[in-house]
Chain A
Amino acid sequence: MSGPKHTPTTLRPPPHPAPSGMIISANFSVTGFGRRWSHCHQLANYFARYASANEGDSERHSTLLSTFFNELFEAVYRNHAPKGEIKIEFKRDNNRVSVRAEVPTNAQCEQFYRHTVELVNQPDPMSWYRERLEHDAPEEEVTSLGLLELAVVYGSKLSIAEPVIGNSLALTIEFPFNEAEEV
């Protein structure tokens, strides 16, 4: 008994995705990005699809990564200085995809990101998150919940990279990547 004999049409060495290293980076102005809400989901889907290209089930990985990236882009959409450039780098580190987003900020935006990172790194962020679901969260906290969800529900790690460069702030998020295998 033997299986079918395959004669591939485009024989090339099988792809070996690097366990670590750069996936893609991009720079764009906050004014262009902030012009349309739909830029968040379009960028999230584009980068997610790109980062998942060599995965076995790229659609599934890309759907999950898009969910993560979209929350980041939505947070950036709401919290950035009126002028400046967003620099974003997607990297892979073994089974995790990490993003470093350099966002132009003013004092208010910086406060938002620092507060969100503090919330994520508190001793019991899940209880805090559930509390906000059980009761109406104050308006100023609602916008943190998207990023908080990435941490408490999906196990992402959020941090602010130091030093802060000029009027920018570098937010780093490590996303879990094995979620796609869960049932």
Chain B
Amino acid sequence: MSVSTAPESVVPPSSSSGAPPWRSPVTFNIRVDQNDQEVVFSGMLRPMIADHMKSIRATCEEAAKVSWGTLYLNFKRLKYMNNVAFLEINRFIRWSAEQRPDLKIKLIISSVIPWAIRKFQVVAEIYSNVSVEIYDKAFYPIQQMLEDAEFINVLRLQEQIIWEHERKILPNHGLRAGMRIADIACGLGDFAVLLQRDFKPEYIVGVDHSRPSLRYGQETVKNLGLEDIEYQYGDAAALLLPDNSFDFVACRLSLQVFHQPEQIMQELFRICRPGGRIYITNECMSCVFGYPEQEIIRSTYQSILDIGRMVGMDLDIGMKTRQLLTDTDLEDIRINLIDINNMNTDCYDFAKVVESWISGTSHMALAAGTPPDVHEGITAGLRVHMETITNPRGLASWPIYAGSGRKPAV
């Protein structure tokens, strides 16, 4: 169910795509999901008077009347809200506390919205039936690793290794000079810097949910004096970037860490302009190999896949690349294999990257709660893989699938 809000004078209208950011190309939307007992607010809610919130309050009250247990008010994509709107939401909550004392109200907010936490905390302190949930507070179990300088060096090395191959295939995926690019789940932000150097885009925005990574990227850009690269704290599943606003939307080696990659794909689709392209890269851990000792190596990566699944990561998502693009209703789908191997890459750099996975998988194993011997086995297997990588007669490969599709023109 969708409720249209008020006339233009009440809630300012959205601007067309490509308008300057201060015109705030954000409209308000409210949606009720009766199955999940959830009212979802998004966009901008800055009414002039309380009366203009009538239909919104009525929607909330209707939802409360038919709910039992807990009603969720989801504000995680509400970018702006003024005090007039806040007071009306508060009035609704007070009404529900009086009329439906048995009904709990959970306010879902995101750490991405900087004004929301303090504002809603006040309401939660007043009413005993209200609680606040910051839904993205503990997103990444490996976040503390990103504070580690050595790990950052390895991530940058990994980026460098991949880039040497990836830059050659990017034109095949439609990347051209002068484009507006979004790099979602940008990590340390090196991809944006490398794109700036080699592809001369008009503007790049990198979005990530790791503050240490963003700080690193922001510092790099500042030190290099680069313009037209911006890094934003954000949630890939609920981006605040406007609809239809980028020529090229990238999401690299990240879909695997999300529980619902399809939801991320929908967000990439939303922010891509019609005729623009969505570009994703994904690992395929079951295809990683090394020779000799191929059996040990194969079973090691199988163990990594298993503990990945236990913490909601699909490290084999590379083989679903075409399906992900097709299911997002993209056309002109193109797929390339980025084959990192010890013949086309410095074998010691490659081995260093594999060594870093020992630490990465230990965090995953901890989160999955596996017995210590599971990770000990993985560590031993990864060390065998490193030996094959640096073995002058060995052959080792780390395949990454790169795919893209075009958003149909309207």
Contacts and interface: CB of A to CB of B under 8 A. Distances in A.
Interface residues of B, number: 73
A149 B123 CA distance: 12
A37 B10 contact: yes
B230 A8 contact: no
Nearest to A179: B114
Given A6-B224, A64-B115, A56 B21 contact: no
A134 B90 CA distance: 8
Interface in A27-74: 36-38, 40-42, 45-50, 56-64, 66-67, 70-71, 74
Interface string B281-310: 000000000000000000000000000000
A49 B86 CA distance: 23
Interface stretch (A10-18, A93-101, A165-173): A10-18
Interface in A117-135: 129-130, 133-134
A41 B44 contact: yes
A15 B223 CA distance: 9
Contacts of A138: none
B225 A180 contact: no
Most buried by A among B12, B137, B200, B205: B12
Given A37-B10, A59-B232, A146 B84 contact: yes
What band does the interface of chain A fall in when counting residues whose beta carbon is under 8 Å from B? 35 or more
Contact of B233 (A47, A57, A154): A57
B169 interface: no
Given A6-B224, A7-B197, A9-B226, 18 more contacts: A1-B154, A1-B352, A3-B160, A4-B190, A10-B226, A14-B222, A14-B224, A59-B232, A60-B232, A63-B80, A66-B80, A67-B114, A71-B82, A149-B83, A153-B122, A179-B114, A179-B115, A182-B114
Interface of B: 8-10, 12-13, 21-24, 44, 46, 48, 50, 79-84, 86-87, 90-91, 94, 111-115, 117-119, 122-123, 125-126, 134, 137, 153-154, 156-157, 159-160, 163, 190, 193-194, 196-197, 200, 205, 211, 214-215, 218-220, 222-228, 230-234, 240, 349, 352
Q: Which 8 A-B pairs have the closest CB atoms?
A: A46-B22, A146-B83, A56-B218, A38-B12, A45-B22, A64-B114, A3-B156, A67-B115
